[in-house]
Structure 1
Amino acid sequence: MESFEKNLEKYAELVIKVGVNIQPGQVLFVESPIEVAPFTRKVVQKAYEAGAKYVQVSWDDEAVTRTRFEYAPDESFGFYPEWTAKMMEQLAEGGGALLNIKVPNPDLYDGIDSHKVTTATRAASVARQKFQGYVRNKSFSWCLVKAPTKAWASRVFADLPEEEQVPAMWDTLFQINRVDTEDPVAAWQDHIAKLKSMRERLNNKKYKRLHYKAPGTDLSVELPEGHVWYGGASFNDQGVSFVANMPTEEVFTMPHRHGVNGTVTSTKPLNLNGRLVDRFSFRFENGKVVDYTAEVGLEYLKDLLDTDEGARYLGEVALVPHHSPISDLNRIFYNTGVDENASCHFAVGSAYPFTLENGTKMSRDELLQRGANVSLTHVDFMIGSSELSIDGELEDGTMEPVFRNGNWAL
């Protein structure tokens, strides 16, 4: 118990010092499942110890969330409170920070009419467009982290007795977030430096295209002129570093909106807002998804692609070696924030403007003209495996290996 409490303390401190990197006098907004309240309270304490001026916690209760979809009238699902959207905008504009302890239950909406969930998701996306612009331009500090809930742990560790599932999840989160090291903050600084080194190598290459080959995957992905690879830490408008996802093992950039051709097949399940999609594939022509399949959750995949025009185009390409801390655990986490850091992945939907030179200063139309995708949504899906090979095409047409057998060959 003493070791657990010590690690919990170190995890909370890591999230505050490296994740959101709270500065003296800053405001912190925390979104958290009520089930992980003990951890959230430690986070709040660490934030105040770091000099936060004010910390507000917004509690999420899955039972309350599901009750809405079971009993609310149909007109409820197209409604999203304007005051909530304005609050988030003011947080970003005022230089605050956001910490989201995000643990969606993959079975939350079992038996619920998918149209209700899709309508509610879209209403939130529309209302939060301005705020999401701040997120995608890294205008302020934000961080997504994980903490175990019973529902999540029971799915990931279904092979363990019930009483061991949540403790096993805690141990795993401590491990993949380097909390179990003597000095997690120093361990993360070293990790961030390694990711920075890899992204700099890729930026120096200036690849014109990436070519993917794996079982069920034969895909060509053009990269726009001026694309920039990122990974590890980012810097907000005030020049303060933060880590948007913990854990993170990826380096990423944007693809050209109209430059994706071929077929790609998923290698891990996708938890799509509490609805599971699995064993799916996309076929692209000139950037657009023109055909798709799924053995599980086809209707949910259709809802995603019908969000808006941009939802049928890619907005992110991310590289993660198969031999990495999360992947080596050989376990499916049913949580994109974890699974995407065990696997190369793409995202359908909006690109991050900062992955294009001067992209954060461009208008929507300018971004589109430069090849960046724009959408209300951004959903990552995993395509990496030990059988994936990726070739990089240089400006002069020369091809060279980037990945072989799922790992770096660069």
Structure 2
Amino acid sequence: MSISNFQDKLKKYAELIVKVGANVQKDQTVIIYVSVTQQELAHLIVEEAYKLGASDVIVKWNDDFVNRQFLAHASQERLENIPDYIVAEGNYLVDKKAARITIVSSDPDAFVGLDQNRIATYQAAHGKALRPLMRATANNELAWTFAGAADQAWAEKVFPELKGQEAIDRLWEEIFKTTRMNEADPIQAWDDHDRTIHAKADWLNKEQFSALHYTSPITDLTIGLPKNHLWTGASAVTDENIAFMPNMPTEEVFTAPDCRRINGHIRSTKPLSYAGSVLEGMEFTFKDGKIIKATAEKGQDILEHLIATDEGSLSLGEAALVPDPSPISQSGITFFETLFDENASNHLAIGASYPFSLQNGTNMSDEELAEAGMNVSQTHVDFMVGSADMNIDGIKEDGTIVPIFRNGDWA
């Protein structure tokens, strides 16, 4: 696309992120997490947020090089102890009910070759220190959104046959396509898409299945569902009734499993970009809700660190349904970025449940959530399991079986 056409689309994309993604309100604090390479998009988002009346727009720049140097060289004490100013900032954002905008663009291989013990130590400490902010986000007390932006290293990973600007342009094309930027009215297109996904969630909520049974040539897994679980998808609503779009793109409806009732085996169907590395060919065996065996064809040590994060990282916190005919799946592109790849495939998440996936869950303590079968953890990592030959059945309390998916699509 021409430079002028690209800049026009980027401006509209920033508007979509601010208006539909975060739905920034008058006098609201906004925080943007974005790479130093994405200054143009960041500036457009800042401008749009202030136009909508934001009181304060904070930009938190990140840099893969700086992050890698920190993880490689920081003292063990620093990795284990998050400074007070970072904790205070997290608490400040909760107090202000800040809208959080995260722009995803990192190199999937940014931390390849680093000591995984150091990365895991830092992630665990960081997750613990920012627990109040993570909890407020998971409870939808704050509006939050994730969207993508094309960086060279990421673009060349997705399209290895292309280099430099050609790869970046190609990735931007796909980002714009998957976020409905090519529609005549992207905001209206998102409104229509939101209604479609909510209709699926409404049907599943009405059915209130006791369990889901996943089968394919490489999977046979039964996942229990808590009583009074809630399926959600596309837009969410804060406790102050402000609608926002957590993920752009999105094709999923999801809920929380009963983390005590998961049995069987399942294999991943797409690579997972996690902790600056790519994991492939993951297989999990579950018994009574716990992972009793976990293997990966690539990234075994990283997988072992992930499931050792805490007690909750040995179970699941999310079960999401995505039809194989979804646009991202049909593109045939592996993005090596969960925001996109999870919307091409049914997926599960190791770690924490979202409290809003249970009636009244956002008002419950961690102990009450656990008692209801919800998983409590510092981590939440999605991995893709769907395929064109996967079937999923809903099992009712009385044993009645209702087809949900057949051959990768809604039954």
TM-score norm. by structure 1 comes to 0.98
* Residue pairs, 1:92-131, within 5 angstroms: 92-131=94-133
| 1:360 alignment partner AA | T
Please state how far the C-alpha of 1:154 moved relative to its aligned partner.
0.7
Counterpart of 1:14 (choices 6, 16, 39) is 16
| 2:36 alignment partner AA | I
Counterpart of 1:72 (choices 71, 74, 90) is 74
Q: Which moved more, 1:111-120 or 1:256-265?
A: 111-120
Could you list the per-position Cα deviations for residues 221-278 of structure 1 after superposition, in whole angstroms to 9, with x for gaps in the alignment?
Answer: 1111000000011111211001111111100000001110000100011111212111
| 1:260 alignment partner AA | I
Q: CA separation in 1, counterparts of 2:217 and 2:278?
A: 22
| 1:254 alignment partner AA | A
Assess if the C-alpha contact under 8 Å between 1:34 and 1:59 holds in 2: yes
Helix, strand or coil for the counterpart of 1:210?
strand
Could you list the per-position Cα deviations for residues 79-101 of structure 1 after superposition, in whole angstroms to 9, with x for gaps in the alignment?
Answer: 22222122122212222211011
Instruction: Please tell me whether residue 328 in structure 1 is matched to residue 330 in structure 2.
Output: yes
- Structure 2 equivalent of residue 140 of structure 1: 142
Counterpart of 1:196 (choices 173, 186, 198) is 198
- Structure 1 equivalent of residue 61 of structure 2: 59
Counterpart of 1:298 (choices 280, 297, 300) is 300
- Structure 2 equivalent of residue 149 of structure 1: 151
Please state how far the C-alpha of 1:103 moved relative to its aligned partner.
2.7
Q: CA separation in 2, counterparts of 1:187 and 1:324?
A: 15
Gaps of 5+ in 1: none
Q: CA separation in 2, counterparts of 1:279 and 1:82?
A: 39
- Structure 2 equivalent of residue 233 of structure 1: 235
Please state how far the C-alpha of 1:215 moved relative to its aligned partner.
2.2
Assess if the C-alpha contact under 8 Å between 1:390 and 1:403 holds in 2: yes
Q: CA separation in 2, counterparts of 1:132 and 1:149?
A: 26
Assess if the C-alpha contact under 8 Å between 1:28 and 1:54 holds in 2: yes
* Residue pairs, 1:2-401, within 5 angstroms: 2-401=4-403
| 1:188 alignment partner AA | W
| 1:353 alignment partner AA | P
Assess if the C-alpha contact under 8 Å between 2:35 and 2:106 holds in 1: no
Helix, strand or coil for the counterpart of 1:87?
helix
Assess if the C-alpha contact under 8 Å between 1:104 and 1:273 holds in 2: no
Helix, strand or coil for the counterpart of 2:50?
helix
Q: CA separation in 1, counterparts of 2:122 and 2:349?
A: 21
Q: CA separation in 1, counterparts of 2:209 and 2:402?
A: 10
Q: CA separation in 2, counterparts of 1:143 and 1:101?
A: 9
| 1:211 alignment partner AA | H
- Structure 2 equivalent of residue 406 of structure 1: 408
Helix, strand or coil for the counterpart of 2:79?
helix
| 2:99 alignment partner AA | A
Q: CA separation in 1, counterparts of 2:374 and 2:118?
A: 30
Please state how far the C-alpha of 1:163 moved relative to its aligned partner.
3.1
Q: CA separation in 2, counterparts of 1:245 and 1:85?
A: 25
Q: Which moved more, 1:83-92 or 1:282-291?
A: 83-92
Assess if the C-alpha contact under 8 Å between 1:85 and 1:131 holds in 2: no
Could you list the per-position Cα deviations for residues 131-169 of structure 1 after superposition, in whole angstroms to 9, with x for gaps in the alignment?
Answer: 111011111111111101111111001122433100011
Aligned residues: 409
Please state how far the C-alpha of 1:102 moved relative to its aligned partner.
2.2
| 1:25 alignment partner AA | D
Q: CA separation in 2, counterparts of 1:400 and 1:204?
A: 13
